Amino acid sequence: MNVYDGLRIAAMLEHNGFEQTNDVTDADIILLNTCAVRAKATDKVYSALGRIRRAKKPNAIYGIVGCVARESGADAFRKIKDLNFVLGPQSYHKLPEILNDPDTKLLDINLGGLEKFDELPPITKSPYVAYIPVQEGCNHCCTYCIVPYTRGPEISRSFNDIMAETMHSANVGAIEICFLGQNVNGYRYTDKNGKTYCLADIIRETAKIDSVKRIRFTSSYPTEMTDDLIDMFKSEPKLLPFLNMPIQSGSNKILEKMHRQYNIDEYMQIIDKFKTARPDIQISSDFIVGFPGESNDDFEQTCDIAKRIGYINSYSFKYSPRPHTAAAIMQQQIPENVKSERLIKLDSILNERQREFNLSCVDKTFDCLYEGVDKTGTKYIYRTPYMQPCIVTTNTPTPLAKICITSANKSCLHGKIID
Ligand code: SAH
């Protein structure tokens, strides 16, 4: 979601006559697009602002957008006196106002819902992967999560708006569409004739666009998986066989304290439905270790479920107390060193399975999408249908390629283009 916001902000500034620079000392406007999900990300914002302040040209304006802006509000101006703007995740379309009057302080952290989508200028060129938000905010009240506060209640965009943006992105270069939402599979929109659309309808319609070859979505809430959506994995080959479905914990007791509305048995049943619909599907997850009250036994249950499900790729985090959340004031907060130990142990299980899956891909052939140049600047990176990065040598990279995997390690695959 932040990638999407970042691209739209960049496009909006280009529309206003700016161009991108990688050199802070040369920039006329500098902004940090921020995330508030964990405290570490928030802390980094203020140290980065200090560095920018020292390095920037005296007249350059600077500020923050996104969830830390929403969380800090006017406090950000008290912390950094000459900051020029603080714009929340639903008000960054107002940024041009500061260009007209750089001497004002621009503060807007309102939850404007979907207004930004109407105000932003359309992009003129899309990367091969276009992110299309289908909703803003979230109605699930996970007790650890700041998102309902920073991005507000869940509001779904109209089906027509989503399809217009999808079509436009395809027309200006997108080959893969990734639909976005905090609770993407909870998408529901009822039009003025009373017809209700869900995510499966968006996927079905998008699959009709010839130049779109791959479709995916993130991130999903397990109990919002409808049979209609699961069936799409059987009937729609453009939908990639890869799904992020965060479990967070393997302990029913902790899931309840997190206010996740499923237990482990229910989660497993949903996975089984996916495997029946699409036998080659692979799942990724998010985990939180060290949630308040997590005992050794609860944590062991998380390790067990990670092994049992065999996620091919996961994000794992130490629990981070966040303002405006119920878990931050719960008893039995877990000491930092215990969280760290648990994270290392869980990561070793997740990494081993990731390595194993990557190795199982050797000698197989996949349709892959071009992403960019590798670190050395001499090879090219593609993405497999399971989102693994795959490195190839070629003279002329094509947007889509059939690649045979020749070797693999935990972090990436190597392959050769055969078509
Ligand atoms: N709706 C999104 C949430 C985005 S946050 C989703 O379901 O994925 C992405 C991940 O960050 C969450 O899945 C969770 O694993 C992690 N996370 C959220 N709040 C956290 C916190 N307070 N501490 C640690 N990790 C957290």
Between the CA of 145 and the centroid of ligand 1 the distance, in Å, is 6
Q: Which helix (H) or strand (E) holds 138?
A: none
Q: Give the position, in ligand 1's atom list, of the atom nearest the Cα of 182.
A: 1
Between the CA of 335 and the centroid of ligand 1 the distance, in Å, is 19
Measured distance CA(373)–CA(379) in Å, rounded:
6
Residues contacting ligand 1 via CB (< 6 Å): 37-38, 138, 144-145, 147, 182, 219, 246, 248, 286, 288, 317, 319-320, 322
Last residue of a domain, one of 78, 108, 138: 108
What is the tally of structural domains in the chain? Answer: 3
Q: What is the domain range of residue 166? A: 115-360
Last residue of a domain, one of 44, 75, 108: 108
Q: 128 and 175 in contact (C-beta within 8 Å)?
A: yes
pLDDT digits (tens, 9 = 90+) for 152-165: 999 999 999 999 99
Between the CA of 394 and the centroid of ligand 1 the distance, in Å, is 38
Task: Check which CATH number belongs to the domain holding 13 and give it.
Answer: 3.40.50.12160
SS (H, E, C) 214-258: EEEEECCCHHHCCHHHHHHHHHCCCECCEEECCCECCCHHHHHHH
Name the residue at shortest CA distance from atom 11 of ligand 1. Answer: 37
pLDDT digits (tens, 9 = 90+) for 62-118: 999 999 999 999 999 999 999 999 999 999 999 999 988 888 899 999 998 899 999
Pocket test for ligand 1, best of 183, 220, 249, 286 (most atoms within 8 A of CB): 286
Residues 327 and 256 in one domain: yes
Residues 145 and 288 in one domain: yes
Between the CA of 317 and the centroid of ligand 1 the distance, in Å, is 8
pLDDT digits (tens, 9 = 90+) for 331-390: 999 999 999 999 999 999 999 999 999 999 999 999 999 999 998 889 999 999 999 999
How many residues does this entry show for the chain?
A: 419
Residues 82 and 136 in one domain: no
Between the CA of 312 and the centroid of ligand 1 the distance, in Å, is 18
Residues 37 and 81 in one domain: yes
Measured distance CA(125)–CA(123) in Å, rounded:
6
Q: Closest Cα to residue 130, out of 168, 156, 92?
A: 168
Last residue of a domain, one of 44, 76, 108: 108
Name the residue at shortest CA distance from atom 2 of ligand 1. Answer: 182
Q: What is the mean pLDDT of residues 203-225?
A: 97
Instruction: Output the furthest CA–CA distance in the chain (Å, rounded).
Output: 61
Residues 235 and 192 in one domain: yes
Torsion, Cα 253 254 258 259, to 10 degrees, reads -20
Share of the chain above pLDDT 90, in %: 95
Between the CA of 37 and the centroid of ligand 1 the distance, in Å, is 6
Task: Check which CATH number belongs to the domain holding 396 and give it.
Answer: 2.40.50
User: CA of 209: how far to CAs of 174, 204, 206, 358, 367, in Å?
Assistant: 11, 10, 6, 31, 18
pLDDT digits (tens, 9 = 90+) for 261-291: 999 999 999 999 999 999 999 999 999 999 9
Q: Give the position, in ligand 1's atom list, of the atom nearest the Cα of 220.
A: 7
Give the residue carrying structure tokens 């050797």. 362
Residues 73 and 12 in one domain: yes
Measured distance CA(352)–CA(302) in Å, rounded:
15
Name the residue at shortest CA distance from atom 8 of ligand 1. Answer: 219
